Amino acid sequence: MPVHRAAWPDWWSDGIGSAPLETAAVRAAQTAAVAGDALQAAARIHRAELPGDLAAERGRITEALVFSAEHTYGADDSVRDPLAQNTREQWGEKASHAWEAVRRTRLHQETLWGALEPSLGRGPSPTLAVFNPLGRRRDGLAVVNVDHELWPPGRAVTLRDQDGREVPAQPLGSRADGTTWALWLADVPPLGFATVTLEAGPAACPAPRAGDLAELASDHYRLDLDRERGTVRHLHDLDLGRDLVDPEAPWPLLACIHERLGNRHQLEHRRLTDVRREPLADVRGDGAADGPIWRSLAFTGASPGGAVLRWEIRLFKPTARLEVRLSLRNPGTCDPEGWYVAWPLVLPGGRLRYQAQGGLVEPGRNQLPGSSSDWHAVQDLVSLVGDPGQVVLSSAETLLWQFGGLNLGRFRPIARPASTHAYSWVMNNYWTTNFRASLAGEFRWGYALTSLRDRGEGAAVQAGQALRQPLLGRMLPPGAPRDHGPLTGLLTADLPCLERVSDASFAGVRAVRLHLREPDGARCTVPLRDILDPARVVALDRVDPLGRVLATIDGGLELGPHERASVTVRLR
């Protein structure tokens, strides 16, 4: 009989907005944990010597993430008495789980890179090892901090990958001990490695040119900017042949909206009668850059309450990608306030959908009546699908969105979006109990947007994964060359339905586990035997969530629409 699939978006998720700094930290730790699992699987594949307590440490990461994701954010009197000792103690305990997850995921990756280092290539000059934690070959961004002893400031270098191609690099920021660089890598294999060498020479990686760019344009997008407001009038998609911005929208693309409520109690009564929404004032240009990876323009603006926001619009050159990075310094108040960023996107026949746990949700359509229709908690992506393709939007740090309009105060049991506009609900301190009362401090977050002609759910999921999950990078100092060839991965071809991979070794048995999901809503056969390296694989077993064998796989794996499966790959 057919299975009815429906989402249950949670009304309580609005409280996540009261802790934007910790929410961003948890999401970063979640992303790092999944990437760390893939790195640990790669270490098993390449017979690295791993500490015996690694499984227990991974369990502690999961525990910290689970406790940090519990839906309340403090004491029951946290808003009524925000300075009370009980309020501060309970919040300190809650926040500690987020930072514990961050600390442990970083140490986990450091341990794994250290274990893999003997297998990584060395040379007479510094080397960067890059790992792709996804199940398909891709071009992508790696962000790595390079010690100034390895790459002194101002030193002329040429970066080349293992195929001799020059690797574009662009600085993100510098401290006394090192500089953080963004690098754009091509053709990094699935669950595999690429190598970048740093060679001293006359061809320097140029620093981005400062100045005032006349326009932001690439081979894929052209932006028409309103420089007085720091917003986007038109986003011309040159591949799809469409302007992606709705000219009739009440708020322009990238409008940063400050919302203030007259009181909190109106929301307890399920109505909104006293609200003020204002754009930023005193907006001015704050620099421009033109580097090998992106061109960018930056702006600053202020709210009437004294908050200062800086945002940088980056248009990538190698691919169809637009990024926006934002930094808000909010003086904070215990009066109710919130912040939004507007994305009034449009495509002919367009429909909004987003990724939740277990699949894509079309608001108001495949969700249970009575579940949250005013706001939604998004995982990797928001997608606008229409004619002739789709636009995919992702935020690594923030997850609350309102679709169709600014919906606060509707409280409808079910509602379709009134338009294809999406509003990122960055933060709020609205609820009256168990959440934080003030949004004081600095918060940094961002968005990444791409577009593609493939309208499928699977294409959206893959694009969202790639936008949220960067390549991992590790700098290695010069050393004696190692007598081995390049590291080869477990996969000989792409495995698009791979959600993640994890270590499954136990009692002397070397194994990894592939976690698969069919994303397009159609029955398919996954040719596992054809795309796994036979020189590495002993056997394939389909297993249940506890790792118990359900069946041995001799050829392909059959998956039904949206079906999930776990496969243990026993290694030679």
pLDDT means per 10 residues in the chain (572 residues)?
74 93 97 97 94 93 94 89 95 96 97 93 86 96 91 83 93 90 96 90 58 83 96 98 97 98 91 95 95 97 95 98 98 95 98 93 93 95 98 98 96 92 97 92 98 97 96 89 68 95 92 95 94 94 95 94 95 92
Which of 50, 25, 179 minimizes the C-alpha distance to 108? 50
Cβ neighbour number for residue 228 with a 10 Å cutoff: 10
Rounded Cα distance, 355 and 462, in Å: 11
CA separation, residue 276 to residues 260, 318, 337, 468 (Å): 5, 41, 10, 33
Cβ neighbour number for residue 198 with a 10 Å cutoff: 23
DSSP letter at 11 equals G
Pairing of strands 400-403, 376-377: antiparallel
The single-letter code of the amino acid at 133 is: P
Return the CA Rg of the chain.
24
Which of 9, 4, 63 minimizes the C-alpha distance to 374? 9
Q: Provide φ and ψ at 466, rounded to 5°.
A: -65, -35
Hey, which bits of 242-396 come out as E strands?
242-243, 256-261, 275-279, 281-290, 294-302, 308-316, 322-330, 337-344, 351-356, 359-361, 376-377, 382-385, 390-394
Q: Is 428 helix (H, G, I), strand (E, B) or coil?
A: strand
DSSP letter at 29 equals H
**Tokens 């990608």 map to which residue?**
321
Q: Is 71 left (phi over 0), alpha (psi -120 to 50) or beta?
A: alpha
CA separation, residue 37 to residues 29, 138, 145, 409, 515 (Å): 12, 19, 22, 41, 11
Q: Is the dihedral of CA 183, 239, 310, 100 positive or negative?
A: negative
Q: Provide φ and ψ at 498, rounded to 5°.
A: -75, 120
Q: What is the pLDDT of residue 1?
A: 41
Longest pairwise C-alpha distance within the chain: 72
Q: Residue 435 in contact with residue 73, Cβ under 8 Å?
A: yes
Rounded Cα distance, 332 and 406, in Å: 22
Q: What is the pLDDT of residue 268?
A: 87
Rounded Cα distance, 293 and 182, in Å: 8
User: What number of residues does the chain have?
Assistant: 572
Q: Is 117 helix (H, G, I), strand (E, B) or coil?
A: helix
Q: What is the pLDDT of residue 207?
A: 59
Sheet containing 351-356, strands listed edge to edge, beginning at the edge strand earlier in sequence: 209-210, 281-290, 294-302, 308-316, 322-330, 441-452, 390-394, 382-385, 351-356, 359-361
Rounded Cα distance, 118 and 360, in Å: 41
Structure tokens at 143: 């962000």
Q: What is the pLDDT of residue 209?
A: 65
HSE, side-chain direction, 13 A CA sphere, residue 35: 24
Burial class (CB in 10 A: 0-12, 13-18, 19+), 420: buried
Q: What is the pLDDT of residue 489?
A: 82
Helix (H) or strand (E) holding 32: helix 20-45
Pairing of strands 351-356, 376-377: unpaired
Q: Provide φ and ψ at 144, rounded to 5°.
A: -140, 140
Cis omega before residue 388 (within 30°)?
Answer: yes
Cβ neighbour number for residue 241 with a 10 Å cutoff: 9
Q: Residue 525 in contact with residue 558, Cβ under 8 Å?
A: yes
Q: What is the pLDDT of residue 303?
A: 95
Q: Is 24 helix (H, G, I), strand (E, B) or coil?
A: helix
DSSP letter at 70 equals S
Q: What is the pLDDT of residue 535?
A: 92
